[in-house]
């Protein structure tokens, strides 16, 4: 493969659609290979825009605005980084010969819970929670009583737990309905899911470079209000559970096709593994790989996009703890003690230009050669001392 000596007009160009903390790391990894990078998002100074060669701020739900930047920049690869993107623009770009990662159809399927759930459960026969789709409050009541309580209610299009809630009885349904409607994304249709009382949940990072499929060590994680707060790698699993998890990850990623990394989210109860959802891009819980692997999930994504070999070493166990803002601010700063910077830790501050309570602003990554538990303990301690204002 021919790598660019800085910014030649005929060399590889990557355009990110969505420019948050995950995209920022993708851009850095691409730039390490001399690749020209363009970061697009719906607000100025998004994390990846801070490090890209060029950036655009557009309405990401607007088909023409997306197509305009694509036609103007003619990227070699278009990497969706968020779910809220005008999907017609991606189909159109693909028709015009642009390369969407992993492909527009996979992005379309995964951005909508109805599409991906039906594809996984119905077309591929993967085990999932019981589920129903509803568009009215009456239908929600019916579906919830059929599925039983507690049940989980989510807009068909949303991420990081926005608009999601658990209804424990009929009395909670009205609150769940209101919460889902307020969510960004498409809340016109909701999914009602059986609540799985899993022992633990994992992300199986699955990398496809067009030749091989490679799995990273499983990542365990804890979610609060539908959003990740802690993750660790490796998650200690039975052989059977690992094998089933990899089988499910292989089936769903083969089904979606294309090149890149995928975050396959799975619930594990005993030796039963349930498919939950999949992101066709790096995963927030996978930030831990920046400290555990010689090539992080972001580096692997770039390699996979380019069709390069997916080889790396795992150094040992690690963990991540997300820092979420406790204050609303137009000029956020984060106070971090000097003692947070140790030989076994890495701190990443995303540089988001605005904070609101609950917005993920930074992450602490920790390493322990042998124990994910010890690494997690350290990550929690570090994050516990952060303050924002």
Ligand X SMILES: NCC(=O)N[C@@H]1O[C@H](COP(=O)([O-])[O-])[C@@H](O)[C@H]1O
Binding region: 21-22, 81, 113, 154, 159-164, 193-196, 201, 265, 277, 284, 352, 359-360
Among 12, 14, 20, 278, binds ligand X (CB under 6 A): 20
Which range of residues in 9-17, 50-58, 187-195, 327-335 is near ligand ATP by CB under 6 A? 187-195
Choose between 160 and 209: whose C-beta lies nearer to Mg ion: 160
Residue 21 is a binding residue for ligand X (CB under 6 A):
yes
The entry of ligand X, Mg ion, ligand ATP, none that residue 21 binds, CB within 5 to 8 Å by partner kind:
ligand X
Q: Which residue is nearest to ligand ATP (CB)?
A: 159
Please report which helix (H) or strand (E) contains residue 304, including its range: helix 297-306
Which range of residues in 37-45, 153-161, 239-247, 352-360 is near ligand ATP by CB under 6 A? 153-161
Among 36, 41, 265, 297, binds ligand ATP (CB under 6 A): 265
Residue 292 is a binding residue for ligand X (CB under 6 A):
no
Which range of residues in 14-22, 136-144, 205-213, 242-250 is near ligand X by CB under 6 A? 14-22
Binding site for ligand ATP (CB under 6 A): 129, 152, 154, 158-161, 164, 193-196, 201, 223, 226-228, 265, 276-277
**Interface with ligand X (CB under 6 A):** 18, 20-23, 81-82, 159-160, 284, 352, 359-360
């Amino acid at each position: 493969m021919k790598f660019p000596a800085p910014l030649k007009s005929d060399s590889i160009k990557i355009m990110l659609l969505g420019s948050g903390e995950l995209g920022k790391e993708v851009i850095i990894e691409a730039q390490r290979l001399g690749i020209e990078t363009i970061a697009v998002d719906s607000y100025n100074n998004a994390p990846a825009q801070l490090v890209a060669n060029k950036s655009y701020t557009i309405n990401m739900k607007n088909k023409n605005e997306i197509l305009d930047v694509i036609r103007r920049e003619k990227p070699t690869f278009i990497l969706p980084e968020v779910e809220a993107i005008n999907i017609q623009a991606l189909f159109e770009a693909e028709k015009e010969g642009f390369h969407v990662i992993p492909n527009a159809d996979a992005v379309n399927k995964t951005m909508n819970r109805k599409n991906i759930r039906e594809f996984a459960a119905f077309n591929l026969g993967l085990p999932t929670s019981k589920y129903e789709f509803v568009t009215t409050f009456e239908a929600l009541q019916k579906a919830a009583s059929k599925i039983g309580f507690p049940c989980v209610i989510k807009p068909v299009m949303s991420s990081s737990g926005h608009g999601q809630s658990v209804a424990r009885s009929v009395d909670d349904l009205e609150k769940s309905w209101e919460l889902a409607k307020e969510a960004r994304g498409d809340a016109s249709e909701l999914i009602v899911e059986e609540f799985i009382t899993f022992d633990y949940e994992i992300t199986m990072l699955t990398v496809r470079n067009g030749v091989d499929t490679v799995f990273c060590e499983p990542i365990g994680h804890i979610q609060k209000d539908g959003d990740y707060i802690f993750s660790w790698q490796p998650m200690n699993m039975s052989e059977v559970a690992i094998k089933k998890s990899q089988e499910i990850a292989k089936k769903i990623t083969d089904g979606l096709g294309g090149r890149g990394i995928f975050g396959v989210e799975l619930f594990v109860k005993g030796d039963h593994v349930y498919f939950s959802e999949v992101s066709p891009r790096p995963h927030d819980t996978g930030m831990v790989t920046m400290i555990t692997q010689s090539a992080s999930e972001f580096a692997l994504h770039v390699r996979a996009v380019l069709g390069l070999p997916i080889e790396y070493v795992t150094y040992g166990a690690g963990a991540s703890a997300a820092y979420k803002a406790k204050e609303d601010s137009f000029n956020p700063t984060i106070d971090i003690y000097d003692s947070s910077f140790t030989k076994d830790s890495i701190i990443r501050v995303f540089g988001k230009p605005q904070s609101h309570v609950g917005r993920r602003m930074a992450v602490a990554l920790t390493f322990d050669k042998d124990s994910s538990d010890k690494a997690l303990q350290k990550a929690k301690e570090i994050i516990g001392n952060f303050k924002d204002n």
